[in-house]
Amino acid sequence: GGIMPDIFVPADTAGRSEYFNKVAQRGLVYQYAFQYTDQYRDQLKRFITVSEMEKWLDKQNLMDGFVKYAAGKGVPANQGGLRISGQIIETQLKAYIARNIMGEEGFYPIIQQIDKTLLKAIEVSRQNLLVENLK
């Protein structure tokens, strides 16, 4: 049984590595984002838009801090895994930090960069709007 979706989006396994799986299974991305938010809350609260916050976060070497944090939690740095999964991890970190400050309005504009299902839903919604406007 089960429900068949109207539009099938295959699971995206690109960018997944053993390192990614270990840090994800232990919740380390979320934990580090929460700790980072607490440490820099005063600076983060100053941003009015998500793009302002993301530009600031891009300059903060999030991955260096995260890799050290993960190593301290028992997941040693793995250069191959970081090459494969670094972009996904960094995007998730930024999205969780933004959510901690701005709520869902901060989370989705960032996470959509790597969420194929969300991107497909946006694409289909836009197509449906175009069709409706042509009627």
- Over its length of 135 residues, how does the chain's per-residue pLDDT go in tens digits? 567 677 665 555 567 899 999 999 999 999 999 999 999 999 999 999 999 999 999 999 999 999 999 999 999 999 999 999 999 999 999 999 999 999 999 999 999 888 776 767 777 777 777 667 776
The answer to whether residue 11 sits within a structural domain is no
Overall domain count for the chain: 1
pTM: 0.81
Range of the domain at 82: 18-134
Give the angle subtended at the CA of 98 by the CAs of 93 and 100, to the nearest 5°.
95
The answer to whether residue 81 sits within a structural domain is yes
The answer to whether residue 39 sits within a structural domain is yes
The answer to whether residue 69 sits within a structural domain is yes
Cβ neighbors of 22 (< 8 A, separation 6 or more) are: 75
Query: What is the Cα 31 distance to its own chain's centre?
Result: 13
The answer to whether residue 34 sits within a structural domain is yes
